[in-house]
Amino acid sequence: MNADRQKRVWDDAAPRYDRQIAFLERHWFTGGREWVCSRARGRVLEIAVGTGRNLPFYRPEVTITGIELSTEMLAIARKRAADLGRAADLREGDAQSLPFDEASFDTVLCALSLCTIPDPVRAIAEMHRVLVPGGTLLLVDHVRSSFAPLRAAQWVAEQVTIRTAGEHFTRRQLPLVRKQGFDVVENERLKAGTVERIRAVKRP
């Protein structure tokens, strides 16, 4: 699924997204947003900011820039930032081609979104490019399970979800992060290995 079609899918899903994801965050991704946001420092770029569900969890002292492909998701994020009184530069853009110079951010964060970005290799390369040397990459997402029967079920599910929403269940970001040249300093797998949290550092 290309970025244009992906944008249309998420524009359509935007009004329902918060209601749908809230259940999964309580029971599957529990604490994931808090985990990544608590580790963010300095100038933060959030990739695929969505409806802004991470905004309440950032430390007060960080500076937030967010990129989002969907115009409708971004509108909700901007309203959420305003309601929270949280300053944030929220822009429409593509994670696979970030509109920022090299070494522009101290932290790059992506929560529950690499599973839908069409080219995760390119997206992670862009994250690496815009980070300062020694900067931090923070990821949380659903990934292929470490339990074989569950992996099989994930594969079956994504035969539908890839076509309808561009959503993958059997990807795993950790090998891509290492291949890009990050040093992984913190890594957790939860829920039979279906959820993974990563903190990695760009080599100086």
pLDDT tens column, 48-76: 999 999 999 999 999 999 999 999 999 99
pLDDT at 164: 87
Compute the C-alpha angle 110/112/114, nearest 5°.
Answer: 65
For tokens 């990934």, the residue is 143
What does the pLDDT look like over 85-103, one tens digit per residue? 999 999 999 999 999 999 9
The predicted structure's pLDDT at residue 107? 98
**Number of domain units in the chain:** 1
- Give me the phi and psi of 153, to 5 degrees please: -65, -40
pLDDT at 1 over 90: no
Using pLDDT thresholds of 50, 70 and 90, give the confidence band for residue 202.
Answer: very high
pTM as predicted: 0.95
CA distance 133 to 201: 8
Domain that holds residue 69: 3-202
Mean pLDDT of the chain: 95
pLDDT surpassing 90 at residue 138: yes
CATH number of the domain bearing residue 121: 3.40.50.150
Note the pLDDT of residue 191: 94
